[in-house]
């Protein structure tokens, strides 16, 4: 890019009026300058920033995800979940922790001030100095992804050059519950009242309104477990999971046993349609949403290290992925699960792409009903979605899911190499929203050749179709 600007400057020197020109010519002269082209760099995909100003991910890790109240983290404090993944970002990149401009943690269920303190404590446990600030963010199930997006936006705005977006949830410590009374005014407005619907009821609403059958839902759950089991058995999660040394307390004797947790413990390799078909609906007597085709209630954490590309290159850090765009949208609270179907097209369009350009999708499986609906609504290739399983098998620790998905997506894109350039992460959000983000594989671009090759047409621009 610098060479191109230098060439522009040389050409402009030939175009500029001579030094003896009139004042009006001088005004004309001052209006001419060399700059980066704002039109983008390819017909198939456009850039919104100069190459070195790209916000990139240099590391992304997560804990294993464990069943709340009975899994491997049932006796682990939330701050002891977050600290190991924060520490891993620093240790595995050899980054000076004092260089981090901010740590933003997505988290949902814990009281705000308490969780903010726990996250600050976790940063100290992880080795960050007191000069590095910490804050939390809550956009319910998208909180972890929102944290990553907030950090990316802050880096783009120039607030700092290095930041961490993370996610944390201990659904053992903080179960889903409403505290205090509900404003009676809510009865006067249906949309507001629907914000209080149990998530399982919104799942039933999606299944009923869009004719998603029980068999479709159970089949999606079986596929999720089988893919997650295969990924675990082949070691595909090892690059993203940070082992956590903790303890398990025997509820009967109180005896503590030291353990190291490094494997997701909710995956059922032998899940079958016949077994899932025996489960009764949980939220509606004649419904189709069961414990087997819903996301698991889980404990876990994840963290993502972001910085400017120019800084990552100067430090010699490998670039795992490039943060391209993020979008959050609103939908009907009564069918909140349709959120990804609304958010994904917005984020993809913002990146100058089309759905067919996306090679991998990580769509959170809050419920099989909404997952199946979104897949069908967008016409997505099932072979591109949740290739290593999703939340029905791996788990859904609300605030951590977004960060977990970033780690899972980017490590899988790295494994696939040149056959996988663009990836999308998306999830539905309680009270009726959806969020989505577009990432590019880290080595998918370089300064001089950063356009996707188009072989299907010879038009100069996709706008000419």
d(CA 270, CA 250): 27
Euclidean distance between CA atoms 127 and 125, whole angstroms: 6
Rounded Cα–Cα distance for residues 251 and 265 (Å)? 19
Candidates 225, 374, 396, 405; catalytic one: 396
Please spell the DSSP secondary structure of 208-235, one letter per residue.
HHTT--HHHHHHHHHHHHHHHHHHHHTT
Cα-based distances in Å from 405 to 82, 302, 357, 402: 16, 9, 19, 5
Catalytic residue among 66, 405, 420, 428: 428
Three-state DSSP at 18 gives coil
Q: Which residues of 19-52 are buried (b: 16+ CB within 10 A; e: fewer)?
A: eeeeeeeeeebeeeeeebeeeebbbbbebeeebe
Confirm whether 374 is a catalytic residue.
no
Return d(Cα 302, Cα 107) in angstroms, integer. Answer: 11
Q: How far is CA 452 from CA 46, 200, 353, 461, in A?
A: 10, 41, 10, 13
Active site residue 420: no
Contact 206, 340 (CB under 8 A): no
Residue indicated by tokens 């059958």:
213
DSSP class per residue in 250-313: -TTT--EEEEEE-S-S---TT--HHHHHTSPPSSSTT----STTBPPPEEEEEEEEEEEHHHHH
Which residue among 141, 374, 405, 420 is the active-site one?
Answer: 141
Helix/strand/coil percent split, the chain, to 5: 40, 20, 40
Q: Given the structure tokens 């290290």, which residue do they identify?
A: 305
Contact between 27 and 54 under an 8 Å Cβ cutoff? The reply is no
Q: Long-range contacts: 193-196, Cβ < 8 Å, 24+?
A: 194/332, 194/333, 194/334, 194/432, 195/333, 195/430, 195/431, 195/432
Active site residue 141: yes
Catalytic residues: 141, 396, 428
């Amino acid at each position: 890019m610098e060479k191109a600007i230098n060439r522009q400057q040389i050409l402009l020197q030939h175009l500029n009026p001579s030094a003896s020109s009139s004042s009006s010519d001088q005004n004309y002269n001052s209006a001419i300058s060399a700059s980066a082209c704002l039109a983008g760099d390819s017909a198939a995909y456009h850039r919104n920033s100069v190459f070195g100003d790209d916000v990139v991910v240099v590391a992304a890790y997560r804990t294993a995800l464990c069943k709340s109240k009975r899994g491997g983290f049932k006796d682990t404090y939330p701050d002891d979940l977050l600290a190991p993944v924060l520490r891993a970002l620093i240790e595995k990149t050899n980054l000076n922790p004092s260089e981090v401009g901010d740590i933003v943690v997505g988290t949902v269920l814990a009281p705000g001030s308490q969780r903010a303190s726990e996250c600050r404590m976790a940063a100290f446990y992880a080795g960050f100095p007191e000069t590095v600030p910490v804050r939390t963010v809550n956009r319910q199930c998208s909180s972890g992804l929102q944290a990553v997006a907030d950090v990316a936006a802050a880096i783009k705005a120039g607030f700092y050059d290095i930041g961490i977006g993370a996610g944390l949830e201990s659904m053992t410590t903080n179960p889903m519950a409403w505290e205090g009374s509900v404003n009676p005014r809510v009865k006067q407005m249906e949309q507001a009242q629907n914000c209080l619907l149990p998530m399982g009821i919104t799942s039933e609403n999606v299944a009923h309104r869009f004719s998603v059958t029980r068999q479709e839902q159970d089949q999606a759950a079986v596929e999720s477990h089988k893919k997650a089991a295969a990924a675990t058995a082949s070691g595909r999660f090892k690059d993203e999971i940070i082992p956590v040394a903790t303890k398990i307390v025997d509820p009967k004797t109180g005896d503590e046993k030291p353990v190291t947790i490094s494997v997701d413990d909710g995956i059922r390799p032998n899940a079958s349609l016949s077994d899932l078909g025996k489960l009764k609906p949980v939220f509606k007597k004649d419904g189709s949403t069961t414990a087997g085709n819903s996301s698991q209630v889980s404990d876990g954490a994840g963290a993502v290290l972001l910085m400017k590309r120019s800084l990552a290159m100067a430090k010699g850090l490998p670039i795992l992925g490039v943060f391209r765009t993020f979008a959050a949208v609103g939908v009907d609270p009564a069918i909140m699960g349709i959120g990804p179907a609304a958010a994904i097209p917005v984020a993809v369009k913002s990146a100058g792409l089309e759905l067919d350009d996306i090679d991998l999708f990580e769509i959170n499986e809050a419920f099989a009903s909404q997952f199946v609906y979104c897949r069908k609504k967008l016409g997505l290739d099932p072979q591109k979605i949740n290739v290593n399983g999703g939340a029905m098998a791996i788990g859904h620790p609300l605030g951590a899911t977004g960060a977990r998905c970033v780690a899972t997506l980017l490590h899988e894109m790295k494994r696939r190499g040149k056959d996988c350039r663009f990836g999308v992460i998306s999830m539905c959000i309680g009270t009726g929203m959806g969020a989505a983000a577009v990432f590019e594989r880290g080595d998918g671009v370089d300064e001089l050749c950063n356009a996707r090759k188009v072989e299907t047409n010879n038009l100069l621009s996709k706008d000419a179709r």
